[in-house]
Structure 1
Amino acid sequence: MTSNDLVVVLPGITGSTLGIRGDDGSPASENLIWAPSAGAVWKLLTGGSSILRQALPEGIGDGHPGDGVEPVALMPDVHVIPGIWTPIRGYDVLLASLEQQGYRRGTGGKPATLIPFAYDWRLSNRYNGERLKAVVEPALEQLRAQGGAYADAEVVFVCHSMGGLVARWYVERCGGAEVTRTLITLGTPWRGATDALEQLVNGVRKGIGPLSIDLTAFSRSLPSLFQLLPEFACIADPGAEGGYAKTTEVSLPNVSTAMVADAMAFHTDLQAAEAARPGSRAAHLVVGVRQPTATTVQIAGGHVTTYRGFGADDDLGDGTVPLTGAVGLGESLDTNLAVRVPEQHANLQCNQTVLDQVQEILSARPLRRRELTDTSVRAVVPDLVTAQEGLGVAFDLEPDVAGVDPSGKAVTVTVRAADGRVLATAAPSVVDGHGEASFAGLPPGTHTVTIAGSAPSSTVRPVTSTTLVWPDGVVG
Structure 2
Amino acid sequence: MTSNDLVVVLPGITGSTLGVRGADGSPASANLIWAPSAGAVWRLLTGGNSILKKALPAGIGDAAPDDGVEPVALMPDVHVLPGIWTPIRGYDVLIDALEALGYKRDNGAKPPNLIAFPYDWRLSNRYNGERLKTVVEPALERLRAQGGASADARIVFVVHSMGGLVARWYIEKCGGAEVTRKLITLGTPWRGATGALEQLVNGVKKGIGPLSIDLTAFSRSMPSLYQLLPEFACISTAGGYAKTTEVSVPNLDTAMVADAMAFQMDLQSAESARAASRDMTHMIVGIRQPTATTVELSGGKATAYQNFGSDNDYGDSTVPLTGAVGLGEALDTNIVVRVPEQHTNLQCNQFVLDQVQEILTAKPVRRRELKSVSVRASVPDLVTQGSGLKVAFDLEADDPDADPPKVPVTVTVRSAKGKVLATAQPTLRGGHGVTTFDDLPPGTHTVTVDGSTPSSLVRPVTSTAVVWPKPVT
TM-score (normalised: structure 1): 0.95
Task: State the alpha-carbon separation in 1 of the partners of residues 39 and 464 from structure 2.
Answer: 18
1:377 matched residue in structure 2: 375
Report deviation, 1:365.
Answer: 1.6
Contact 1:46–1:53 (Cα < 8 Å) also in 2: no
Q: What is the aligned counterpart of 1:298 among 296, 314, 319?
A: 296
Shift of 1:473: 3.7
Per the alignment, in what secondary structure is the counterpart of residue 212 of structure 1? coil
* Residue 249 of structure 2 is aligned to residue 252 of structure 1: yes
Residue aligned with 2:455, SS: coil
Query: What amino acid is aligned across from residue 246 of structure 1 in structure 2?
Result: K
Answer with 29-38 or 16-25: which moved more. Answer: 29-38
Q: Which runs of 5 or more residues in structure 1 are unaligned?
A: none
Shift of 1:79: 5.6
Q: Secondary structure at the match of 2:456?
A: coil
What SS does the aligned partner of 2:392 have? strand
CA contact (8 A) 1:407 1:431 kept: no
Q: Tell me: CA distance 1:88–1:205, structure 2 relative to 1, closer, same or farther (3 Å).
A: farther
Q: Which residue of 1 aligns with 2:196?
A: 196
| Distance in 1 of aligned mates of 2:144 and 2:260 | 36
CA distance in 1 between partners of 2:338 and 2:207 (Å): 32
Equivalent-residue separation in structure 1 for 2:195 and 2:39 (angstroms): 29
Shift of 1:267: 0.5
Per mean C-alpha deviation after superposition, the further-off stretch among 113-122 and 451-460 is: 451-460
Quick check: 2:287–2:341 contact (8 Å CA) kept in 1?
yes
**Structure 2 CA distance for aligned equivalents of residues 465 and 207 of structure 1:** 26
Q: Residues 370 and 425 from structure 1, CA distance in 2 versus in 1: closer, same or farther, beyond 3 angstroms?
A: same
In the alignment, does 2:279 pair up with 1:265? no
Q: What's the offset of the Cα at 1:154?
A: 0.6
**TM-aligned CA distance change 1:140 to 1:474, over 3 Å:** farther
Change beyond 3 A, Cα 1:123–1:113? same
Per mean C-alpha deviation after superposition, the further-off stretch among 453-462 and 336-345 is 453-462
Contact 2:14/2:79, CA 8 A, preserved across alignment: no
Q: Which of the residues 454, 461, 470 maps onto 1:456?
A: 454
Do the aligned residues in 1 keep the contact of 2:12 with 2:163 (CA within 8 Å)?
Answer: yes
Aligned residues, how many? 472
Deviates more, 1:269-278 or 1:2-11: 2-11
Show the counterpart of 1:446.
Answer: 444
Secondary structure at the aligned position of 1:57 is classed as coil
1:24-43 map, 5 Å: 24-37=24-37, 40-43=40-43
Shift in CA distance, 210/134, structure 1 to aligned 2, threshold 3 Å? closer
Equivalent position of 1:288 in the other structure: 286
Shift of 1:222: 0.6
Q: CA deviation at 1:297?
A: 1.0
CA positional deviation for 1:207: 7.6
Shift of 1:188: 0.2
Q: CA RMSD in A?
A: 1.9
Which consecutive unaligned segments of at least 5 residues does structure 2 have? none
Distance in 2 (alpha carbons) for counterparts of 1:317 and 1:39: 28
Paired residues of 2:231 and 2:243 also in contact (CA < 8 A): yes
Corresponding position of 2:145: 145
Q: In the TM superposition, what is the alpha-carbon distance from 1:402 to its structure 2 partner?
A: 5.5
Aligned pair in 2 of structure 1 residues 206, 325: CA closer, same or farther (>3 Å)? Answer: farther
Shift of 1:298: 1.2
The alpha-carbon deviation at position 319 of structure 1 amounts to: 0.3
**Greater mean alpha carbon deviation, residues 377-386 or residues 268-277:** 377-386
- Contact residue 209 and residue 389 of structure 1 kept, 8 A: no
TM-score (norm 2): 0.96
CA contact (8 A) 1:28 1:70 kept: yes
Equivalents in 2 of 1:385, 1:110: separation in Å? 48
Shift of 1:210: 5.1
Instruction: Work out whether residues 208 and 386 of structure 1, in 8 Å CA contact, stay in contact via their aligned partners in 2.
Output: no
> In the TM superposition, what is the alpha-carbon distance from 1:381 to its structure 2 partner?
1.0
% of aligned pairs identical? 76
Contact 1:81 1:88 in 2 (8 A): no
Change (3 A) 1:115 1:456: same
Distance in 1 of aligned mates of 2:335 and 2:136: 25
**Letter in structure 2 aligned against 1:434:** H
The answer as to whether partners of 1:80 and 1:90 remain within 8 angstroms in 2 is: no
